[in-house]
Structure 1
Amino acid sequence: MKFVIPKGRLMNDSLAFLQNAGIKINIDDDRKLMFYQDGNEIILPRARDVPVYTEYAGDIGICGSDTLSESRSRLFTPLTLNFGKCRLSLIAPEKYSIKDFEGLDIATKHPNITRDYFFSMGIDANIIPLNGSLELAPETGIADAIVDVVQTGETMKKNNLVEIQKIMDISAILVVNRVSQKIKYKEINNFIEKAGGLNGNRRVCKKYIE
């Protein structure tokens, strides 16, 4: 099978999860992006590209739930995993409250989620896509506020920003290519059952799922 694993903060936990499920992995060169071991292929793209690689080049992937929501990819999500937990929040200088964002500029790596969030609130905000260093946007005048991932909140506080409102909880999730699920049904289902076990009609990984 072809497994798509994100480079970055989810990589080590994702590899440990696969190894715990019986997939042998030995990454001996962190510059390589593809590995072939014991009949399996491991693909290591950037985290935000995992849904695309899983949909078009892989069978099973691991990514953040925010990454899948932002990508709009149509993948099966049989397991929610017990790592990569954080939240996506609206963040701004302390002077703002939620009612103040009509017509303001919001910088984010998650333009689709952010646009949907403000639409659901009945707020017409201007969404500015940025790929990094979001905390700089309010300080430099690029944006009035940001929508970003919050883990400890320390970076936010050091840049004189506060969390205005949580938009969504985030966790790592297992995603499955819809075509592969049909073609490799037995192989993929055996992996999911081994990784997660069964709890009624919902597959639940006792080790990794709350």
Structure 2
Amino acid sequence: MKDILTIAMPKGRIFEDAVGLLRKAGYQLPPEFVDSRKLIIEVPEESFRFILAKPMDVTAYVEHGVADLGIAGKDVMLEEEREVYEVLDLQISRCHLAVAGLPGVEMNDIAPKIATKYPNVASSYFREQGEQVEIIKLNGSVELAPLIGLADRIVDIVSTGHTLKENGLVELERIFDITSRLIVNPVSYRLKDKPIDDIVERLAHVVST
């Protein structure tokens, strides 16, 4: 009997892109797979079990072994710093992390405030720039912060830039580029090395072509 691989996947665009990759790699996933509202989806034909999670939770599931593999953005990996193996850059869901703010508005000289979903990454970035800032962690609608006077700047994901533009914000500094990565639990890699190596090789072939 084949080992069942449990794969944690984030909901949303990364999930859709990842499903497309898996199908290109020859895995037979049900047609209604992307539209399912289930949080756990079994695909017995491929010996897969998928856990659908919030993007920030994927690395935790993999680190703690409830998932053998996961797909996570590089932003989440840098923010969460989990004990997982990064085995493949899937080169999907491209975007970047950036500093943004209102045009023509200077940052406060005394205790400037930065709003973000990525407090660890933002703290490291401004520390490297030699700037002392106060980080305000938000879980959503980060773009609101400069508009209501909560923060001087935001650090957030930028994909098309439409959201910034619609809210009257401009990108000021690009921090780093982001793609989604295939990650593995270290213990799973020892116990299920053959099926994990197989999925890595098949996805790597698709990514490289």
Same fold (TM over 0.5): yes
The residue number in structure 2 matching 1:183 is: 191
Equivalent position SS for 1:205: helix
The residue number in structure 2 matching 1:107 is: 115
Map 1:81-96; keep pairs closer than 5 Å. 81-96=90-105
**1:146 and 2:150 equivalent?**
no
**1:78 and 2:82 equivalent?**
no
Matches of 1:15 and 1:72 in 2, distance apart? 25
TM-score (norm 2): 0.89
Show CA shifts across 1:101-134 (max 9, x none). Answer: 6621100011110011011111110000001111
Matches of 1:122 and 1:102 in 2, distance apart? 14
Shift of 1:156: 0.9
Tell me the amino acid that sits aligned with residue 206 of structure 1. Answer: S
Map 1:117-128; keep pairs closer than 5 Å. 117-128=125-136
* Residue correspondences, number: 200
Equivalent position SS for 1:123: coil
Matches of 1:28 and 1:16 in 2, distance apart? 10
Shift of 1:29: 6.2
The residue number in structure 1 matching 2:207 is: 205
CA contact (8 A) 2:16 2:34 kept: no
Shift of 1:173: 1.0
The residue number in structure 2 matching 1:167 is: 175
The percentage of aligned residue pairs carrying the same residue is 38
Matches of 1:90 and 1:29 in 2, distance apart? 34
Shift of 1:87: 0.5
The residue number in structure 1 matching 2:22 is: 18
Runs of 4+ aligned residues of structure 1 deviating over 3 Å after TM superposition are 99-102
Tell me the amino acid that sits aligned with residue 184 of structure 1. Answer: K
CA contact (8 A) 1:5 1:15 kept: no
Matches of 1:167 and 1:14 in 2, distance apart? 24
* Unpaired stretches in structure 2, ≥5 consecutive residues: none
Matches of 2:109 and 2:88 in 1, distance apart? 35
**1:33 and 2:39 equivalent?**
yes
The residue number in structure 1 matching 2:77 is: 68
**1:3 and 2:12 equivalent?**
no
Shift of 1:54: 1.6
**1:158 and 2:195 equivalent?**
no
Shift of 1:79: 1.1
**1:196 and 2:204 equivalent?**
yes
